[in-house]
Amino acid sequence: MKEKIKEIQTRIDSDPKLKEAVERIKPKRNLWGILGIVLFFFVPELLTYIWQAELISWTHEHMLTEPLAVQRWLYSKLEEMFISGVSWFNIALGVLLLLWVWRSK
């Protein structure tokens, strides 16, 4: 079993298409790459942390006044998302991406 895992690992390490794909998805080490990570992963969580109560009441109000059932359902899901609070998964993923950018060559 260990030999099979080592064989798979060597195939993954030597695959040029995989290396190219990883290089394409990796954020660049410049202002736009770092700003993109910060804006996409940290700012929404910061806004949720600061204005959680207002966001919950806003979505609840729109959920009650919306005439379409689909829109009411969407507002209810949005309300559930804001009630759950800050997403620690998003923050952890953002930190990992920042570390990936800073620790790379």
Between 3 and 39, the higher pLDDT residue: 39
Q: 8 in a domain, yes or no?
A: no
- Residue from 27, 20, 39, 41 nearest 92 by CA: 41
For residue 57, count other CB atoms closer than 10 A to its CB: 12
Between 16 and 51, the higher pLDDT residue: 51
Q: 17 in a domain, yes or no?
A: no
| Average pLDDT of span 87-93 | 95
| Average pLDDT of span 47-56 | 95
Percent of the chain clearing pLDDT 90 (strictly above): 64
Structural domain count of the chain: 1
Task: Identify the sign of the CA torsion 19, 22, 24, 28.
Answer: negative
Residue 80 confidence class, pLDDT cut points 50, 70, 90: very high
Q: 34 in a domain, yes or no?
A: yes
| Residue 63 belongs to domain spanning | 29-103
Q: 11 in a domain, yes or no?
A: no
Q: 16 in a domain, yes or no?
A: no
Q: 21 in a domain, yes or no?
A: no
pTM (2 decimals)? 0.71
52: pLDDT strictly greater than 80: yes
Among all chains, which residue has been given the structure tokens 């804006």? 39
Q: What's the CA gap between 84 and 79, in Å, rounded?
A: 9
